Amino acid sequence: MRLALLADIHGNLAALEAVLADADAKGIEGIIAAGDHLATGPCPVQTFELLQERGAILIRGNNDQDLVDIRVGRAPAAWQSGVHYGPLRWSAAQLTPAII
């Protein structure tokens, strides 16, 4: 079985679609996504849905854990207002409980 190992997609749906098209052309039969799938990119929900649709094995990365921490109130106080963490907060707000 030929597998593709992906990492650091960061919600970049267009890039993921391009990589998956190339993987399909090369006869890849499975996908392992090794972390940081959704955070800070423009399309976190659609990225997750496409990975699920493709049956990808998802390994939670540090930014994926950050999204969970924000959604469940475990994030450090600085993350709630700091400008640097705005993209993480935005990404976390897009995710449904089913995705978390």
pLDDT computed for residue 83 by the predictor? 87
Which has more confidence, 82 or 11?
11
CA dihedral in degrees (35, 41, 42, 43; nearest 10)?
A: 0
Residues 6+ apart with CB under 8 A from 73: none
Domain ranges (residues) in the chain? 3-94
Q: How far apart are CA 11 and CA 17, in angstroms?
A: 11
- Per the CB < 8 A criterion, the answer to whether 7 and 33 are in contact is yes
Residues 6+ apart with CB under 8 A from 82: none
Q: pLDDT band for position 46 (50/70/90)?
A: very high
End-to-end CA gap in the chain: 30
- Topology of domain 3-94, CATH: Purple Acid Phosphatase; chain A, domain 2 (3.60.21)
The tokens describing 47, both together, are 């990225």
pLDDT tens track for 23-43? 999 999 999 999 999 999 999
pTM for the model: 0.91
